[in-house]
Structures are given as C-alpha cells and as structure tokens.
Structure 1
Amino acid sequence: MTPSTARTPSAPAPPPATTGRTLDIRGLRMTLPGTARPVLDGVDLTVTAGETVALVGESGSGKTLTSRSALRLLPSGARTSGTVRVAGDDVLTMDAERLRALRTGTAAMIFQDPRAALNPLRRIGDFLTESAVPGGARDRAAATARATGLLAEVGVDEAVLRAYPSQVSGGMLQRVMIAAALMGDPALLLADEPTTALDVTTQAEVIALLRRLQERFGTALLFVTHDLDLAATISDRVYVMYAGRIVESGPAHALFARPGHPYTAALLSSTPRPDAPVGRLAAIEGQPPDLRTPLTGCPFAARCPLATEVCDTREPVLRPASAEPGHRAACHHGDHPERSAADA
C-alpha cells in the first residue's frame, strides 16, 4: 500500500547489523499501578553504532517510555521485565553506581522541552559542567574548557555559559542541551521530540547539527518523533509503535514506500503535504485503547478498516511485510487486496 503522503528517502539504508548493537531492547514489558494492561508489551528494538533509528507513533503509544528505559528513567511504581542493554550492559539490573556512570558517559538524552530540563536559578555553565566535575579547580577548568568547545561545535558562543536559561532563546537552549548530552562522549544519544517546540527554520538547523555531530562522533541515535516526514528524512530504520507494541519496523525507504501495517498507512495518509490538493486531511477514526481496559487481539482492530474476527481474538506477530530484508509488520491481513487501494 503506497499512500500519496509517503516520502521516500533518497538512498536505501543497510539492514541492521547482528553485532555491535549500542542499544538492544528485548521483550521489554512495563506495567504501572492502576492499569489493566502493560504500557509496554514485548518491545524489541535495536540501534547500532553510527545508525539513526526513528521511533514513531501517536502520543501515548509508548515512545518516550521506551527511550527513557535506556537510562532507566522510569515512572514511579513501574515494574519491568525483559532486557535493555546499552553497550552490552543490562540497564534494568544495574546498581546505582553503574547507572550513574551510564547516565553521565555511555548514554545521554535530549529532552523535548529544554526549559523543563534546566534549573532557571542556575547559570548554563553550571548545568553543563556539574556532572563532569568530581572536585578540584583543575577538574572544573577542564570541564569548562570542554563545555566551551562543545558549544562552539553546536554554534553557540561561550558567553552563554554565564547566562541563565530565561536569557536564551528556545532554539539556542536546544543547542545547549545537545552540547550537554555530548559532554560525556556518549555511545548512544536519545532524542525525545527534540524539535517539537521549535520553529521550522530552527528545527532544520538542529536536525542538520545532529546529523553532522553523529557523523563526526559515530554516535548511535534513537530519534523519537510523531513527524513522519522528519523520520523519513533523518532515519536509517524506523519502528512504529501503537498501544505499547511495535507494529511495524524496517528500513526507512521500504517502510515509507510501502507500509505493511494499516496503522502506518493511516499515519502517512494523515500527514499534510504541500503538493497535495487543498482539502480535509484523512483522520484515524476512534481512539487508542484505554490502559484501564484489558486488551486482546490486535490493538488497532477497533480503528482498522481491514479488521475481521481474527483481529479481535488473536494478537498478530511481526512477520515479513515486503521483500526488503528486515521489513516486518504485525498484521493478519498483510496480503489483503485492499492494502493496495492507496496506490490507485
């Protein structure tokens, strides 16, 4: 099925490597107090060194929880099973000392709202250097020198070190957050909707900056977004989440050219395009499943135009969705003739 809204990246991405995974999530399941079903249900996801992987889906699908699990930044009362390995070490079983080393060195996160991540009463220089200063004037000087160098890398003058967050624009603060994330030379960078609060021009600058820094440092990047056009542009591979499950995954060029799951196709069809005729956008009818209600069968069945009885009773598993290696979708009707309707 090839929706008219799909944007195909210019170059094919290689299939994921079987070794050298910087992030390797297997069977991740998370439950929270007061819910009748898991908020994450058997999530499998990998990111290799130097690779950009996009995690997409509607709000509430589990994208942020999945990305934060790589740093074990979990909600209060969360119970987990499965494994979340970063550079080979299972984050979910780490002691406090190893977890701190992970968060200040091996992996780092760029949050959606930089102002929410910064203390408004502290200078930006203190924020950048606090995790890199174990003690002593020499250590502080070295940390400040590194922060200054990284600010230069992201196009920010060192005078910002002496400023408070309220004195800096949103776009500049997001650059500061990128510099902060790079302070520990992370092997894995987690970007949680890092451009949502920015204007279009600044968004493009931040994305270009991330790509340039990633190429230079060879960092693995997990990019969480609801912007499918952006995911198509920036990523090598894509995972599509719905109701805490991965419903489709594969190389970006294959997934966006011919989505294998009705949910992915619906997301693409609801994306505005400047070259499309003026009119109402296609909408996904209904609402995602309620966390307070047990779930059986396919989580998308109640909103899916292809759903049949089997969809309500049996959970689909990920299986090949096209001839492209690594392209898989969890749908009972992968060969349904209506799947090609959007090609007409």
Structure 2
Amino acid sequence: MNTLDIQQLRLRLPGTARPVLDGVDLTVAAEETVALVGESGSGKTLTSRSVLRLLPKGATAQGSVLVEGEDVLAMTPARLRRLRTHTAAMIFQDPRAAINPLRRIGDFLTESLRLDGGTDAADADRRAGSMLEAVGLTGGVLRQYPDRLSGGMLQRVMIAAALMGDPALILADEPTTALDVTTQAEVVALLGDLQRRFGTGLLFVTHDLGLAAAISDRVYVMYAGQIAETGPADTLFNRPRHPYTAALLASTPRLDAPRSDLGPDAPRGSGSGGRFAARLAAIEGQPPSLREALAGCPFAPRCRYATAVCTEELPEQLPVAGDPVHRVACHHSDQVAGGEPR
C-alpha cells in the first residue's frame, strides 16, 4: 500500500472557468522521495495542501486523496486533526510566516502534542528536544524566540515540527527557496538523512529541476493543473517525452552549456574574448488563465509540435514504449527525444 495515493483529484474554485486541479493522479510509497515540478501557478502547492485538506475557501474537490489507505476528503474533523498531527506533516516554504513570532520555539513545537491530549508537557518537551537534536540544533533553542534564529535554523525548526508526530508522510513545499545555496544543500541533505532514519515518504514540491533530479526517486511534471509526464528521475530528465518537460530542461542553466561569441561590443566582464554562455532557451507564451476553459492539450498554444488534434482532443496519459513506469500525456511524444529541437 502506498503512503499517499491521489486518484483523479479535481479541485474547483469559485469564479474559475476550469478546474485548478484536473484529474491529478500521484503516489508516494514508504521511504520514497517524489518530486512535483512545474512553473508557478501549475497547481503544485494546491496538490500538496490537498493532502491535508488545506483547501481555499469555497473550493470543491472530487476524486480521492488516500493517506495510509484513508480518504482525506471524507474524514471527520476529529480524524482530520489527528491526520495533521500524527500521520502527515507539511514543511512550508517560508518558516517566518509559519511560526508565530510572539511564542517561543518550544511552544511552537509542542503545541500539537499538548492539544492532542495524549502527551503531557514534560514528555512533549523531551520529544521536542530530541527532534531539535535530530535536525542539528541544541535543546537551548526551545527557549528562543523566532527572531533570534537564522532562516536556515528556522527551516530546521520547521522540519523538527514536521517530525514531532512521527508522520508516515512529509510534504515539503519548496522548503529551500528562501535559503542561500549552502543552507539549501544542508537542508536537502538533512531531509534525506531523516527520511532514511524515520522511514517516511516525502513529496517534494519545487520549481528547481536540478534539485529534483538530485534528490528524487520519481518525478511528476505538472502543467495547468494536470500531470504532463511522470517517471523515474533519471529516465525523465535524460529522455523527456513531453514537450513541456523538454522545454523546462532546456531553460535550466548548466555549467557545461555551449558558449557563444557575441562580438567585440560584448560588455566588459563577459570573460575571455568576450564569450558568454549561450542564451538560455525560453518557453514562449504564457500558461492558460483560469478564466478560460481549455479544449485539447493545455500546452498546445506554446508547443512547437502542436497540430490540429492537440487543440481538439485532450491527450490521455499513456506508458512510454518499453517503460510502463514512464507515462506521458502528449499526442506527439514520439517526436520528443531527449529535449526540445533547436
């Protein structure tokens, strides 16, 4: 049984012409790291928040979101509260927005256990101290206020808070975005170590494809509320079969990218001989608006492979030949071999 199993999830918001999430299927197994990637506004955060039923006001959801075999969308308030305390936990993008600045770190970490009624204050404090040590902080942090800690330390506190209830699933919503690159690497390494120690499944939401490739076992690529492509990380990044995945990869900076000579008028500081890294590829156009109903493939207006069938028929997500785990929703996936054509 998967730790997380989302099946045909559709989420609608008031005033929109189409679902914000439209038929999302996604799974996370125990001890597995799954990355969910895509442009801003593609539905990544809403997908992760739906696992805890943290939905926007007025939202209506269809389908099923199974955590440890139980449907979150059908849970009673009491069962949902226990899910959020013990079964699944989220690490939010901005720890300073998630932690009350007027309360000590110890109060923040132990609140859920104390309110749950099953843990006394002393045991909750001991658990909090143990979790802080697990993330590389000392027990003295319990007495500190958030403004006394750096961004990296606060993100470690958020990870400790997620582990307080011994969850089977951790949802990480771009937890490294606001951190410098050194702290990012430390947080990512810490998450991997803790995942192995505690045996949790991890859904890692990110727009950083390089990071997703480095840490994940499998990847889901999301566009306009739909899963465009999914597969093992090494397969998907080395041999993408959806034009959107290939375009995202082509727009990612690389140290080994070819260089181009921009001539004698190139600005100073451009390196030896006025040579620059070649200009990054860009995905033309804009993602579709929620005020517009979609017909056919949502990526068709931005896709150089698009034909009439793409604008008329929504592609079914099908296995790539020879690899049943690698699936893609594209009418012309056989034309995409390793990247966007130059």
TM above 0.5, yes or no, is yes
Write the distance in 2 (CA, Å) between the matches of 1:311 and 1:233: 33
Write the distance in 2 (CA, Å) between the matches of 1:63 and 1:342: 23
* Cα distance, 1:340 vs structure 2: 5.8
Q: C-alpha deviations, 1:97-126, integer Å up to 9, x for none?
A: 000000000000000000000111111110
Write the distance in 1 (CA, Å) between the matches of 2:119 and 2:167: 23
Within-5 A mapping of 1:189-208:
189-208=170-189
Tell me if structure 1 keeps the 8 A contact 2:241–2:328. Answer: yes
Write the distance in 2 (CA, Å) between the matches of 1:257 and 1:310: 27
Q: Are 1:292 and 2:291 matched, yes or no?
A: yes
- Per chain length, whose mean CA-contact separation is higher, i.e. which structure has more relative contact order (CA < 8 Å, sep 6+)? 1
**Equivalent of 1:246 in 211, 227, 238:** 227
Q: How has the CA–CA distance of structure 1 residues 150 and 48 changed in structure 2, closer, same or farther, with 3 Å as cutoff? A: same
Q: Are 1:330 and 2:329 matched, yes or no?
A: yes
- Partner residue in 2 for 1:123: 104
Q: How has the CA–CA distance of structure 1 residues 85 and 341 changed in structure 2, closer, same or farther, with 3 Å as cutoff? A: closer
**What is the percentage of aligned positions where both structures have the same residue?**
70
Q: How has the CA–CA distance of structure 1 residues 281 and 320 changed in structure 2, closer, same or farther, with 3 Å as cutoff? A: same
Write the distance in 2 (CA, Å) between the matches of 1:328 and 1:138: 45
Q: Are 1:218 and 2:199 matched, yes or no?
A: yes
Structure 1 runs not aligned, ≥5 long: 1-19
Q: How has the CA–CA distance of structure 1 residues 266 and 182 changed in structure 2, closer, same or farther, with 3 Å as cutoff? A: same
Within-5 A mapping of 1:48-63:
48-63=29-44
* Cα distance, 1:44 vs structure 2: 0.3
Q: Which 4+ runs in 1 deviate beyond 6 A?
A: 135-138
Q: C-alpha deviations, 1:247-272, integer Å up to 9, x for none?
A: 10011111111001000000000000
* Cα distance, 1:324 vs structure 2: 2.5
Write the distance in 2 (CA, Å) between the matches of 1:135 and 1:267: 44
Within-5 A mapping of 1:9-24:
20-24=1-5
Tell me if structure 1 keeps the 8 A contact 2:7–2:25. Answer: yes
Write the distance in 2 (CA, Å) between the matches of 1:334 and 1:213: 37
Structure 2 runs not aligned, ≥5 long: 260-276
Q: Are 1:114 and 2:86 matched, yes or no?
A: no
- Partner residue in 1 for 2:263: none
* Cα distance, 1:135 vs structure 2: 8.3
* Cα distance, 1:325 vs structure 2: 3.1
* Cα distance, 1:50 vs structure 2: 0.5
Write the distance in 1 (CA, Å) between the matches of 2:119 and 2:246: 56
Tell me if structure 1 keeps the 8 A contact 2:300–2:306. Answer: yes
Deviates more, 1:241-250 or 1:312-321: 312-321
TM-score (norm 2): 0.92
Tell me if structure 1 keeps the 8 A contact 2:310–2:331. Answer: yes
- Partner residue in 1 for 2:236: 255
Cα root mean square deviation, aligned? 1.6
